[in-house]
A = this chain, B = another copy of it.
Amino acid sequence: MTYHAFTEADAIAYAKKKGLFPEAAQVDSREIGDGNLNLVFHLTDRDTGKSVIFKQALPYAKVVGESWPLTLDRARIESEALIIQGKLCPGLVPEVYANEPELALTVMEDLSDHVIMRKGLIERTHYPKFADDISTFLARTLFFTSDLGMNQQDKKLQQGRFINPELCKITEDLIFDDPYTDSPNNSFDEHLRAEVEALWRDEQLHFEVAILREGFLTRTQALLHGDLHTGSIFVKPDSTKVIDPEFAYYGPMGFDVGAVIANLLLNYAGQEHWSRTAEERADYRAYLLETIEQIWTGFEAKFRALWNEHGVDRMSRTPGYQDYYMKRLLQDTIGYAGCKMIRRVHGLAHVADIDRIEDPAVRKRAQVIALTIGSALVKGNRSAESIRFVIDEAVKGAQQ
């Protein structure tokens, strides 16, 4: 079957042909993608209520029109990553029902009963199970795809299947380059110009970013999700589902852990807005910081337990090495979290947590908080000793 972008009707026809719905079923099909890189169809059987999701990669990035071509191979990468993650973390990613490489299509579990976590955080919802779920996801996917937890020759072959140059380039440019210079890819409120220009001149910051960029380019520690922001996580109070691993590749573990923490901190910055009272704002910020601490603490404990129980590398049991490794992983996490915060303020892609603040003065306060915390995490990453460093910088950053 040669590639063509599906219409809603194409999706229904394909689903019936594949037996996902009976031929006679009345199936509704809606395109519900956020529209940057993919089509997403939601198909529902009107009678039974049964539903599935079709995700089809587009051969270009819609965000900049058809001028930014992208390989359809990312659909294969996404399907294969979902299947690996699903085996390692049953229930924490959508189930894959079918995939069709030529069509760059994956058919998977419908998660419409969940909400996108970014939206949930904006509505100040508490997710009591989230820290435990996401730290399990991180610990298991990162450990078992690394040289610590899988056969080192199989890992090299797997690494070869996740060479992902085009999607990595998006990250390399938009996270590790453009925000630090006067690039046409940047996009920011004019009221923020002085702060952004100061950042373009900050050589201490650039130095740390250059080191973190090098790590992203050259450190094949584990199979990463690669884009683990709160828009890639579906939640309910009792359930967490990680979606959209099309940026999956072998990279530094801290990039994934840092992405989660960065996006909680972006919401933390955005709390300037929604809280009706100072107390309510303080309460939700305290919840976010507590969640961050639980995520790191849970991740570290689970990762160490997997290492002790399932470590495949004799040399990795050398006394002192695990402590050394975990400290560097924490430091990477902090550095990458900082990079991921900064780029969301004045780079190409922003976050609704901050952008939706209508009052420019309040929005600017939130933007400055995010830049302040992000810069502090980047600059301090190599000397950080515990997750308390993040909490302390977040508290300081909010006291603008």
Q: Report A121 CB to chain B, min CB distance, Å.
A: 31
Question: Complex formed: what's the CA distance from A310 to B153 in Å?
Answer: 34
Checking B154, B168, B220, B320 against A218 with a beta-carbon cut-off of 8 angstroms, the contacting residue is: B220
The CA-CA distance from A221 to B220 in the complex, in Å, is 10
Q: Say which size band chain A's interface belongs to.
A: 35 or more
Q: How far is the CB of A56 from chain B (nearest CB, A)?
A: 24
List residues of chain B with CB within 8 A of the CB of A177.
314-315
Q: Are B157 and A160 in contact (CB under 8 A)?
A: no
Nearest CB of chain B from residue A212's CB, rounded to whole Å: 10
Q: Report yes or no: A203 in contact with B157, Cβ–Cβ below 8 A.
A: no
State whether the Cβ of A319 lies closer than 8 Å to any Cβ in chain B: yes
Q: Which of A7-66 contact B (CB under 8 A)?
A: none
User: What are 30 A-B pairs with beta-carbon distances under 8 A?
Assistant: A147-B214, A147-B217, A147-B218, A152-B217, A153-B168, A156-B165, A156-B168, A157-B165, A160-B160, A160-B163, A176-B315, A177-B314, A180-B315, A203-B319, A203-B320, A206-B315, A206-B318, A207-B321, A207-B324, A209-B315, A210-B316, A210-B318, A211-B321, A211-B324, A213-B315, A218-B219, A218-B220, A219-B219, A219-B220, A220-B220
For window 144-196 of chain A, which residues contact chain B by CB distance below 8 Å?
147, 152-154, 156-157, 159-160, 163-166, 168-169, 172, 176-177, 180-181
**How far in angstroms is the closest Cβ of chain B from A255?**
13
Q: Inside 8 A of A159's CB, which chain B residues have their CB? A: 163
Name the distance in Å between A300's Cβ and chain B's nearest Cβ. Answer: 18
Give Cα A11–Cα B128 distance, bound, in whole angstroms: 71
Instruction: Mark each residue of chain A from 209 to 236: 1 if its CB lies under 8 Å from any CB of chain B, else 0.
Output: 1110110011111000000000000000
Residues of A within 8 A of B (CB): 147, 152-154, 156-157, 159-160, 163-166, 168-169, 172, 176-177, 180-181, 203, 206-207, 209-211, 213-214, 217-221, 313-316, 318-321, 324-325
Shortest Cβ distance from A221 into B: residue = B218
In the bound assembly, the distance between CA atoms of A152 and B320 in angstroms comes to 35
Query: Bound state CA distance, A176 and B152, in angstroms?
Result: 13
- How many Å from the CB of A318 to the closest CB on chain B? 4
Copies in the complex: 2
Please name all residues of chain B whose beta carbon is closer than 8 Å to the beta carbon of A163 when the two chains form the complex. Answer: 156-157, 159-160
How far apart are the CA atoms of A180 and B177 in the complex, in Å?
A: 42
Residues of B within 8 A of A154 (CB): 165
9 A-B pairs with least C-beta separation: A153-B165, A160-B163, A156-B165, A206-B318, A210-B321, A210-B318, A147-B217, A210-B315, A156-B163
Contacts A147-B214, A152-B169, A211-B321 given; 12 further ones with Cβ under 8 A? A153-B169, A154-B165, A156-B165, A180-B315, A203-B319, A206-B315, A206-B318, A207-B321, A209-B318, A210-B316, A211-B324, A213-B315
